[in-house]
Amino acid sequence: MLCLALGLLSIQLVNLQVLRHDELLAKARKNTRQTTIRLPMRGQIRDMRGNVLATSLGGKVVCADPTLLANHAVEVARALAPVLHTNEAYLLAKFKPQIRSVDKRLVTNSYAVLARRVSMEVWRDVTNTMANLEDLKPHQKMPPAQTNFLAAIRRRGIYSQEDQIRVYPRPTLGAHVVGYVDHEDIQAGVAGIEASYNKALTGVAGWRQTEIDFSHREMVPFRDQEVEAQDGLNVVLTIDSGLQYIVESELEDAMREHSPISVSCTVVRPATGEILAMSTLPSYDPNTPGLFPAEFLRNRNITDLAEPGSTFKIVVISAALNEHVARLSDSYDCGNGTFYFARRTLHDAHRHGTLTVEGIIAKSSNIGAAKVALKLGPERMYQYILGYGFGEPTGIPIPGEAQSILHKLTAEDRNKVAMVQIPMGQGIAVTPLQMVMAMSAMANQGRLMRPMLVNRLERNDGVVVARLQPEVIRQVVSPEAAREMVQALKSVVGPEGTAARMGLENYTTAGKTGTAQKVNRKGEGRGYSHDRYFSSFIGFFPADKPELCISVVLDEPKDGHMGSQVAAPVFKRIAQRAASYLNIPPDLQPAPRIRGTLAATGTGTGVGEAINPDPANREE
């Protein structure tokens, strides 16, 4: 019997030590070894001056162990519901044990998430509530086992894990540029810079491998590996928060005054392509994006396509100047407001007889622009449209950018209606960003720049990891042609231009108005609406050495719809405040006052206010 017992013991030892060695070793390691993933802190998003637009704070994931709470679920739920800002029914559902099969064994879950991204203050309230819960306090005559069980509930029934809270300290400022992260996963950017630079912001996770005892406490001497997490990089934008605030405050005034569907603005530094401000209203709070309608989350500067209207005239006229098929002094008969072509009738908003090319821009003549385009020809016009970046994304580093709607023009289109529609900004759909970059190219001696939103990536200690440089896409027109266009665009804000009185007092200003009828909705018939407009103004200053190019766009404004009436005044207010904020040196001397009026000194800006105090409303 002794030999039999020893034999059976030997067989069992062989089974455990040899045959089942790998299986039992894995189970032992699972029970005694623990690998903890150490998440990196998500990097900040800052403006060009270092102001924080997005940051991460330490937080907690509040969890529960249903196996411990089963008999006291109601009391705990009632106590924690107000602390976690939820309801008792939700917590009771979380406290209910869930039985599942693991390795052919029935296991009750000991992990249920109650709340994520809980602040440290709220977590302290949770622990205090559990510690002081009367129903979990032991009584004098209570058995030791029951006392220990209640102590375990207070200590481990509700526990926490490390988490992060993504915070946007200036809630709506630059919201469409900054973007937001996934509500369930802070390391997953959803929109804006948070999405496009998600990998750089996320960082690299670390880990800790160690031994634990039966109470799941770490035995520090047996710690094998510890790899520190590498926090995410900080993304420094080209956005200036001060300028962004100026833009957003003026857009809010425009929303109140004209009640459009939306109003958008982009401020660009023409020489580098840096975007100093970009805003769209209505906006949203990236701290709680789910509380806003989907259309509020859209950055309309890059997502919305619309016919640009007369701002598109700059493309055709600059192309004709560059190809030497027209000069600013050349004259064109504008037919007193009527021009028949391809069995269609083209109209001007005001009747014009003979206009120079400069006058065509100043008075925004559709007929004049169409006749210049006919002289240029369809193939060359199409090539310049592509040259200015239409037909492809600008490459701005935020997701969601739309492409233009553009039909190829060939020699066969010379006598088609597209030849007179496109020069006036019809039959083509572009984004506001594409238009402002095209105008910036005009201001930048004909060089089209890639729009920049990110200046550099840097670590928390200030070490710059990567610095982005301005990128020239192409030379669209010659510097000479660009200078001629600047001269023509100055006349738009002059006494006889469509945006008279919209120039700045101490700066020469150049720009172009745009008023585009919107296409009829489905069921309204073919053609264009007579009461819905896309109104815009794009301008830059100082005109001969531009510092800023500003685009203002209103979609279906009320109480006026002409670009000169609704968009140009917004441009002027933004430009004046921006010039003061950035301390841009004036290039005009202030006009001396004579008997309460301005004396006419210089040209282009402000002068028309003294000479023609109430000019006629001239618009395309």
**What is the predicted pLDDT for the residue at 464?**
94
Tens digits of per-residue pLDDT, 374-420?
999 999 999 999 999 999 999 999 999 998 899 899 999 888 899 99
The stretch 15-42 carries a mean pLDDT of: 76
**What is the predicted pLDDT for the residue at 600?**
38
As assigned by CATH, the class of the 241-611 domain is alpha beta
For 136-139, the CB contacts below 8 A with 24+ separation are: 136/72, 136/75, 136/76
Who wins on pLDDT, 560 or 141? 560
Write down the residue that tokens 């100026």 correspond to.
Answer: 246
Tens digits of per-residue pLDDT, 271-288?
999 999 999 999 999 999
**What is the predicted pLDDT for the residue at 168?**
93
Tens digits of per-residue pLDDT, 204-234?
877 667 776 655 565 656 566 667 778 899 9
Write down the residue that tokens 């915070």 correspond to.
Answer: 167
Dist CA 432 CA 438 (whole Å): 10
Dist CA 620 CA 429 (whole Å): 18
Is 101 a residue whose pLDDT tops 60?
Answer: no
Dist CA 442 CA 554 (whole Å): 23
**What is the predicted pLDDT for the residue at 609?**
29
- Please answer whether residues 473 and 272 qualify as being in contact, where contact means their C-beta atoms are separated by less than 8 angstroms: no
Domain ranges of the chain: 57-169, 241-611
Q: Which CATH number is 57-169 given?
A: 3.30.70
Threshold 0.85, pTM exceeds: no
Write down the residue that tokens 């970009």 correspond to.
Answer: 278
Is 244 a residue whose pLDDT tops 70?
Answer: yes
- Please answer whether residues 443 and 481 qualify as being in contact, where contact means their C-beta atoms are separated by less than 8 angstroms: no
**What is the predicted pLDDT for the residue at 231?**
87
Q: What is the mean pLDDT of the chain?
A: 85
Distance of CA 5 to the CA centre of its chain: 77
Tens digits of per-residue pLDDT, 487-546?
999 999 988 889 988 888 899 999 999 999 888 887 777 788 888 999 999 999 999 999
Residue 145's pLDDT band (boundaries 50, 70, 90)? confident
- Which two structure tokens, joined as six digits, stand for 545? 């050495």
Write down the residue that tokens 């004709």 correspond to.
Answer: 320
Tens digits of per-residue pLDDT, 164-198?
888 899 989 999 999 999 877 778 889 999 999 99
- Please answer whether residues 482 and 474 qualify as being in contact, where contact means their C-beta atoms are separated by less than 8 angstroms: no
Dist CA 118 CA 102 (whole Å): 31
**Cβ density class 105-119: b for 16+ within 10 Å, e for less:** eeeeeeebebbbbbe
